[in-house]
């Protein structure tokens, strides 16, 4: 007599034990400097990058300040102590000269992009996207620069910007995220290797999505990216950031800074799909991701919109924030954070209302599976003079196992009585009856979970540009293959 | 087509089915009636493979295959459809996406390519008409915010989409007003053919005025205690279930 017993916990196990699908290491010769951090290392980084004196001074100031700080411990994260002297702070792919066309790009690198499903050539030709592909710490290829240049748009690696547009960089670097902001911001400022720089001139709408694919690629190398976006009066740009990383045993530290400065009536959309190596199913390895992202809506009627789909990293510490300084400025934050196995995420946003009639929207969707911990941390602050401001916060958690955790830490600090603040929160679990209903229609459990999760995350995913939304949906399915309990 | 032999099943350790025997052939319509708690819904859940129920004894073969060894999705692919008494809501998943996933899984099992977007929309439109289902419902989340009648019509719509060999309709008439009952029944009748079979589980004769089964079974205390033709349903309607209990010596 054959009996069929369907065991939910087993299914859960199967699902949550899926391996990282982008685990591979590219064989590219890398120029890595000695492990450890001191003033000499910072001078070496600066000289390798042929930086001006003021930038070196700025790095050193940040380094000295960093030395006075302690690692922050307030997040809902359990992290083993990081030995900052065991990390190499600079790695650049060795190359004879900078490539001038695709033909000159290292074939190994092209292969890497292809494995990731990001064929650079196709992207260039088909999607009309400009790709500033960052490999380890040095930008290898910047495209469409000429086309953008016609409009006066600057989109280049941070190093190039330092050389070619020193005045702009000097004016805005640290204007949104000063090095004194926090521990990892100070560290990044001291040792940042490269990143992207964007300037959209007055009245210009950038006609294409600007996209950077980051990839951490050298063993044991900290990755310290620096992105600076400046949107001048009446300008618009949509910026995409997406990442995957090869499988590693060692934990890799990543501490990036993204600064966005918006002038009057400027609008910036910043979208992220983050899929770094989360560690294996026992929680070994994986990226530590400590990011400081902030936009300053300095100008009146300016608007910043952050959208993020976070599925990767062993540890995520990330709060893309909006300082709404200009009157009538708008800040938005749409987030899906998925954690599985032993992943930990502490993520959310800060909406700082300083100007009058400022508006902010927060939609946060947490999805937890396995033994993971997923926290939303948010601050809504309305200054006394920020009259008639509005905030709407929606904070949802979806649980896929009985061993995971979902937490919310919302903080509201409202300084006047003319503002309106709304907060909604839900916690739900995918029910066995939902799964059975899908099964009965012929949809196996894994596909059912994927369908339900994508439905749950739709509101956020739909905010992503089309190409990204498709990729994000695939990612959600891959990260959660099968987890219900 | 379906052969149930001495089926015993429990939920949370409590035995509900205590030796059910039933044979269903292609083209037949069977009704299973019985008082509350007799095990009618348990029987449909067990046939569909609901993991909440455990089978402790007996055999079920479906077109010669061992049904109890199959996971629920495979039973669906093999042609078993369960019209739920309480269709569950799945927020965020549109009916269109849900049905496309279901149809494509069925095709995959048969070794067919996924259905094209235009063919799928045409199929949706065609099948929607069977139960007069509003186009707007197709764009809403699965069963979310549907009225009781809409949920039941949606079940029959899904049945039309998946073209099962054996449809088990669990109390499809409960909570329906007379118009919805007519629409749902007509839908079921339109889908009837010589190759498929239907098991209607119901409390009342009312539904059987529309869907006319050739075979009536009375399920009582986990067993089929009486079987007969359409006249049995009428008798039950008239006399209730007490006389059956008396016949059984209770």
Per-residue pLDDT at A81: 86
CB atoms within 10 A of CB A420: 12
Per-residue pLDDT at A244 exceeds 80: no
Q: Which pLDDT band, with edges at 50, 70 and 90, does A1 fall under?
A: very low
Per-residue pLDDT at A58 exceeds 90: yes
Mean pLDDT score, A170-192: 94
Q: Which pairs with CB-CB distance under 8 Å and at least 24 residues apart come from A61-68?
A: A61/A179, A62/A179, A62/A186, A62/A187, A62/A189, A62/A190, A63/A37, A63/A39, A63/A186, A63/A190, A63/A191, A65/A179, A65/A180, A65/A186, A66/A179, A66/A183, A66/A186, A66/A187, A66/A190
Q: Is A417 exposed, middle or buried (0-12, 13-18, 19+ CB in 10 A)?
A: exposed
* Beta strands B65-66; B80-83: pairing state: unpaired
DSSP H or E segment with residue A59: helix A53-67
Tell if the CB–CB gap between A442 and B48 is shorter than 8 Å: no
**Both tokens of residue B102?**
């279901």
Lowest-confidence segment of A175-179, A243-247, B35-39 by average pLDDT: A243-247
The answer as to whether A314 is a domain residue is: yes
CA angle centred on A373, ends A368 and A377, rounded to 5°: 100
Mean pLDDT score, B52-80: 96
Q: Which pLDDT band, with edges at 50, 70 and 90, does A253 fall under?
A: confident
What is the SS3 assignment for A457? Answer: helix
Per-residue pLDDT at A231: 98
What is the SS3 assignment for A132? Answer: strand
Residue B69: which of A4, A7, A451 has the nearest Cβ?
A4
Provide the shortest C-alpha distance from residue A26 to chain B (in Å). 35
Which of A292, A190, A216 shows the shortest CA–CA distance to A32?
Answer: A216
A9-28 pLDDT, tens digit per residue, is 333 344 344 455 555 455 55
Provide the number of structural domains found in chain A: 1
Tell if the CB–CB gap between A441 and B98 is shorter than 8 Å: yes
Provide the shortest C-alpha distance from residue A272 to chain B (in Å). 22
Q: Where exactly are the structural domains of chain B?
A: 2-247
Tell me the C-alpha to C-alpha distance, in Å, between residue B226 and each of A431, B9, B85, B233.
37, 20, 24, 11
Tokens 């400027």, located at residue: A266
Per cent of chain B over pLDDT 90 is 66
Per-residue pLDDT at A483: 65
Mean pLDDT score, A203-214: 79
Residue A441: which of B55, B66, B102 has the nearest Cβ?
B102
Per-residue pLDDT at A96: 38
d(CA A194, CA A229): 14
Per cent of chain B over pLDDT 70 is 100
Q: Tell me the DSSP string of A185-220.
A: HHHHHHH--EEEEEEE-TTPBPSS-EEEEEE--STT
The answer as to whether A1 is a domain residue is: no
DSSP-derived secondary structure letter, A237: E
Mean pLDDT of chain B: 91
Residues A299 and A265 sit within 8 Å (Cβ to Cβ)? yes
Residue A443: which of B57, B73, B88 has the nearest Cβ?
B73
Mean pLDDT score, A80-88: 84
B159-170: burial string, b at 16+ Cβ within 10 Å, e else: bbbbbbbbbbbb
The answer as to whether A175 is a domain residue is: yes
Tell me the C-alpha to C-alpha distance, in Å, between residue A477 and each of A173, A343, A448, A472, B17.
38, 16, 10, 9, 38
- The residues, any chain, with a CB within 8 Å of residue A218's CB and separated by 6 or more, are A30, A32, A88, A91, A136
Per-residue pLDDT at A255 exceeds 60: yes
d(CA A366, CA A340): 11
Per-residue pLDDT at A100 exceeds 70: no
Where in the sequence is the domain holding A385, given as residue range(s)? 8-480
Q: Hey, what CATH topology would domain B2-247 get?
A: Rossmann fold (3.40.50)
Per-residue pLDDT at A140: 38
Which residue in chain B has the smallest CA separation from A459? B92
B200-228 pLDDT, tens digit per residue, is 998 877 888 888 899 999 999 999 999 99
The answer as to whether A2 is a domain residue is: no
Contacts of A441 in chain B (CB under 8 A): 76, 98, 102, 158, 162
Q: Tell me the DSSP string of A321-374.
A: EEEE-STT-EEEEEEEEEE-TT-EEEEEEEEEE-STT-EEEEEEEEEE-TT-EE
**Both tokens of residue B12?**
């949370």
What is the SS3 assignment for A61? Answer: helix
Which of B86, B82, B96 shows the shortest CA–CA distance to B138?
Answer: B96
């Amino acid at each position: 007599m054959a009996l069929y017993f369907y065991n939910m916990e087993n299914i859960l196990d199967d699902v949550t034990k899926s391996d990282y699908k982008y685990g591979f290491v590219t064989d590219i010769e890398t120029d890595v400097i000695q492990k450890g951090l001191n003033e000499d290392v910072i001078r070496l980084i600066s000289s390798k990058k042929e930086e001006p004196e003021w930038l070196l001074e700025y790095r050193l100031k940040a380094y000295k300040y960093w030395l006075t700080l302690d690692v922050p411990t307030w997040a809902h994260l359990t992290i083993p102590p990081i030995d900052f002297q065991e990390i190499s702070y600079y790695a650049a792919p060795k190359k004879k000269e900078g490539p001038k066309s695709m033909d000159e790009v290292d074939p190994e690198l092209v292969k890497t992009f292809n494995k990731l499903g990001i064929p650079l050539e196709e992207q260039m030709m088909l999607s009309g996207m400009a790709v500033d592909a960052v490999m380890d710490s040095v930008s290898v290829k910047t495209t469409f620069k000429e086309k953008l240049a016609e409009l006066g748009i600057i989109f280049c690696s941070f190093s190039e910007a330092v050389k070619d547009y020193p005045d702009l960089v000097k004016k805005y670097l640290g204007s949104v995220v000063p090095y004194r902001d926090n521990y990892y911001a100070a560290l990044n400022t001291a040792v940042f290797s490269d990143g992207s720089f964007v300037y959209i001139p007055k009245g210009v709408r950038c006609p294409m999505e600007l996209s950077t694919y980051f990839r951490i690629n050298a063993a044991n190398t900290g990755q310290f990216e620096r992105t600076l976006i400046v949107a001048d009066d009446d300008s618009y740009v949509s910026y995409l950031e997406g990442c995957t990383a090869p499988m590693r045993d060692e934990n890799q530290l990543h501490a990036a800074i993204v600064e966005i400065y918006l002038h009057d009536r400027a609008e910036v959309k910043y979208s992220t799909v983050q899929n770094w190596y989360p560690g294996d199913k026992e929680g070994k390895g994986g990226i530590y991701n400590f990011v400081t992202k902030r936009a300053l809506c300095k100008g009146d009627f300016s608007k910043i919109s952050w959208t993020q789909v976070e599925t990767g990293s062993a540890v995520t510490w990330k709060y893309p924030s909006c300082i709404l300084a200009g009157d009538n400025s708008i800040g938005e934050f749409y987030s899906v954070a998925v954690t599985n196995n032993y992943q930990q995420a502490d993520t959310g946003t800060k909406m700082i209302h300083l100007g009058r009639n400022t508006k902010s929207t927060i939609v946060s969707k947490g999805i937890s599976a396995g033994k993971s911990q997923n926290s939303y941390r948010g601050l809504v602050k309305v200054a006394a003079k920020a009259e008639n401001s509005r905030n709407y916060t929606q904070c949802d958690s979806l649980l896929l196992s009985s061993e995971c955790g979902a937490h919310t830490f919302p903080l509201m600090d409202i300084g006047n009585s003319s503002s309106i603040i709304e907060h909604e929160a839900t916690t739900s679990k995918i029910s066995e009856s939902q799964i059975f209903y899908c099964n009965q229609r012929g949809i196996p459990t894994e596909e059912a979970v994927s369908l339900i999760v994508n439905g749950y995350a739709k509101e956020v995913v739909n905010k992503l540009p089309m190409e990204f939304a498709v990729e994000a949906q695939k990612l959600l399915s891959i990260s959660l293959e099968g987890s219900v309990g | 087509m379906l052969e149930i032999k001495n089926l015993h099943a429990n939920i949370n350790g409590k035995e509900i089915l205590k030796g059910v025997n039933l044979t269903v052939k292609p083209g037949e319509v069977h009704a299973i009636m019985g008082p509350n708690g007799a095990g009618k819904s348990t029987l449909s859940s067990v046939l569909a493979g609901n993991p909440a129920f455990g089978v402790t004894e007996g055999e079920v073969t479906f077109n010669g295959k061992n049904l109890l060894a199959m996971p629920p999705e495979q039973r669906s692919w093999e042609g078993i459809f369960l019209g739920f008494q309480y269709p569950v809501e799945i927020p965020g998943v549109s009916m269109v996406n849900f049905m496309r996933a279901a149809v494509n899984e069925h095709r995959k099992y048969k070794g067919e390519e996924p259905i094209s977007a235009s063919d799928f929309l045409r199929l949706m439109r065609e099948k929607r008409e069977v139960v007069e289902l509003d186009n707007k419902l197709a764009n809403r989340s699965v069963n979310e915010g549907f009225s009781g009648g809409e949920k039941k019509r949606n079940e029959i719509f899904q049945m039309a989409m998946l073209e099962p060999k054996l449809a088990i309709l669990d109390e499809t008439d409960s909570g329906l007003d007379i118009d919805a009952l007519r629409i749902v029944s007509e839908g079921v009748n339109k889908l009837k053919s010589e190759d498929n079979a239907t098991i209607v589980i119901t409390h009342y004769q009312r539904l059987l005025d529309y869907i006319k089964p050739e075979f009536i079974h009375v399920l009582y205390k986990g067993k089929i205690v009486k079987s007969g033709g359409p006249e049995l349903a009428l008798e039950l309607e008239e006399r209730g279930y007490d006389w059956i209990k008396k016949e059984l010596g209770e």
